[in-house]
Amino acid sequence: MPLPELLMVSSALPVLDIAGIAIFAVSGALAAARRGLTIVTFFFFAVATGTGGGTLRDLLIGAPVFWISDNRALAVCMIAALAVWITPRRVWPVKALEWFDGAGLAAYAVFGSWKALAYGVPPLGAVAMGIITACMGGIIRDVLAGEPSILLRPELYVTAAALAAGLFVVLTLLGLPLLVAAAFASVAGFGLRAVALARGLALPGYRD
């Protein structure tokens, strides 16, 4: 799809960006909540988790780093952190972090691929940018929280991001309307992650 057409829908698809930022920010704040940390740490976890993947993506594709020029990203992260801070812990289910993370994963993978395509990145590179956008925030969150990185666990995580990003790029190349492609890809990515969480699906590990 030509670059001008991709850029023409820039007022619609970035809704996925804001959604992904908000959901990842909540997951970051929940990681802080699990450890009973301070409000300042809540903000830091939320911002680092919500913006980490998009920051790396923008640096790699040569785009202006989104949260520097747009106040909405940081505002959304801080609102998410505050919302978790003022909410009693009993309100959040035990696996709330994982479910929020899964939803953010799908939305951010699609948006990351779209933005890469809009900046002229070839299809395979665009899929990779979607995966990086979706996964890096969770990796940063786990490192900050002192938990084993999601990359070191066998559960379907990167696979779900790859499905969302890859399906979006393929459907876009096949000529589907961008918003339709985004919807299908987001649902597919979240669906795979949800099934993995509900049934404990995981990829097999290496064996000698």
**What's residue 2's pLDDT?**
47
pLDDT digits 0-9 by tens, 55-111: 999 999 999 999 998 889 999 999 999 999 998 877 777 677 778 778 888 888 999
The encoded tokens of residue 104 equal 């953010």
Rounded CA separation 202/84 (Å)? 30
Predicted local confidence at residue 3, as pLDDT: 46
What secondary structure letter does DSSP report for 121?
-
In order, the DSSP letters of 53-109 are: HHHHHHHHHTPPPHHHH-HHHHHHHHHHHHHHHTS-GGGS-TTHHHHHHHHHHHHHH
Determine the 3-state secondary structure of 74 from DSSP: helix
Q: Quote the pLDDT of residue 187.
A: 94
CA dist 123 and 111 (Å) reads 14
pLDDT value of residue 4: 42
Residue 81 amino acid letter: A
Rounded distance, CA 24 to CA 46, Å? 7
CA distance 191 to 136: 20
The answer to whether residues 118 and 7 touch, using CB atoms and an 8 Å cutoff, is yes
- Positions in the chain whose pLDDT score sits under 70: 1-14, 94, 208
Q: Provide the pLDDT for residue 161.
A: 94
Task: Give the number of C-alpha atoms closer than 13 A to the C-alpha of residue 103, restricted to the C-beta side.
Answer: 16
Whole-prediction pTM value? 0.86
